Structure 1
Amino acid sequence: MRAFTLIELIFVIVLIGILSVVALPRFTGMRDNAKIASELSTAASVQTAIDACHGEWIINEGAFVCGKDIDPSDSTQFDQSNGFPLVLGSDDTHPLNRILKNADNIKWVRDSAGHYRGPASNNGVKPKNPDVAGKPDGNDYWEYNAASGEFRLIDN
Structure 2
Amino acid sequence: MRAFTLIELIFVILLIGVLSAVAIPKFTGMRDNAKITSELSTAASVQTAIDACHGEWVINEGAFECGAHIDPTDPAEFNATSGYPIVLGSSDTAPLDKILKNGATVKWVRNAAGHYKGPASNGGVKRQVKGKPDFDDYWVYDSAAGTFTLVETNE
Q: TM-score, normalised by structure 2?
A: 0.81
> CA shift at 1:16, angstroms?
1.0
2:100 pairs with 1:103: no
Q: Which secondary structure state, in structure 2, belongs to the residue aligned with residue 153 of structure 1?
A: strand
Q: Which secondary structure state, in structure 1, belongs to the residue aligned with residue 116 of structure 2?
A: strand
Unaligned runs of 5+ in 2: none
Deviations 1:97-120 (A, max 9, x none): 1122332333332647xx452242
User: Within 2, Cα distance between the matches of 1:61 and 1:101?
Assistant: 24
Read off the aligned partner of 2:16 and give its amino acid letter.
I
Do 1:121 and 1:136's aligned partners in 2 also have CA atoms closer than 8 Å?
Answer: no
Superposed, 1:6-85 pairs within 5 Å as 6-85=6-85
User: Within 2, Cα distance between the matches of 1:145 and 1:103?
Assistant: 19
Deviations 1:4-37 (A, max 9, x none): 2222111111111111122222222222111111
Deviations 1:33-89 (A, max 9, x none): 111111111211211211121121122234311123322233332111221111323
Q: TM-score, normalised by structure 1?
A: 0.80
Instruction: Give the share of equivalent positions with the same residue, in percent.
Output: 60
How many residue pairs get matched?
Answer: 150
Moved more, 30-39 or 118-127: 118-127
